[in-house]
Amino acid sequence: MFKKIVWATDGSEPADAAFEIAKSLASQDGSELIVVHSVERIAARGGYTVDADQDEHQVKVKRQAQELAASGVRTTVQLTEGVSGAAHRIAEVAEKEDADLIIVGTRGRNPFAGLIVGSVTQRILHLAPCPVLVVPTK
C-alpha cells in the first residue's frame, strides 16, 4: 500500500512509539522507510545552540535505522537542521521523496514548547503533502 514512508523522530518516547508502527508497516508492505531527524537550533546568548543531548539523540536515531535495515527494511536517514520549522523540513523531505505517508509521535521532547507555539506534529498535519499517521504514547 505504501511505497515510501517518512518516520519523523526527535529521539523521544512518543517518537519511539511511532517507530514501532513505522517498522511494522514498512515490513508488511515492503516499503522504503525514510528516517528524518530534525536538529533544532535554539536562540541563546551569543548565537544559537542545540539541545545538549543532541549527539545522544542522533546516535539513537542511527541505531534505530540500523535495526530497521537489519530487519530487511530499505532504510535511509536524513538529518535536517535549522533555527525553527522542523515541521516544514519534515514536510519538505516527504514532498521531495514523494512519500506516501508520514508517521510521527504525538509530542516530542519538549511538551511545554508545544503549549506555546504548537507542536511539530500539529504543524505537520497542516503542511504534509501526504497522509499523516499520528501515534499516541501508550
Residue 91 lies in a domain: no
Cell numbers representing residue 92 in the block? 519538505
The two counts, helices (H) then strands (E), for the chain are: 5, 7
Task: Give backbone dihedrals phi and psi of 68, rounded to 5 degrees, phi first.
Answer: -60, -50
Residue 79 and residue 39 share a domain = yes
CA-CA distance, 102 to 49, in Å (whole number)?
28
Classify residue 138 by burial, with Cβ atoms within 10 Å: 0-12, 13-18, 19+: exposed
Residue 110's domain spans which residues?
99-138
Residue 86: pLDDT band by 50, 70, 90 thresholds?
A: confident
Question: Do the beta carbons of residue 90 and residue 102 sit within 8 Å?
Answer: yes
**137 has a pLDDT exceeding 60:** yes
Residue 49: pLDDT band by 50, 70, 90 thresholds?
A: low
**How much of the chain, in percent, has pLDDT values that exceed 70?**
78
Residue 58 lies in a domain: yes
Residue 105 and residue 80 share a domain = no
Quick one: DSSP state of residue 115?
H
Instruction: Give the chain's domain count.
Output: 2
**What's the whole-model pTM score?**
0.82
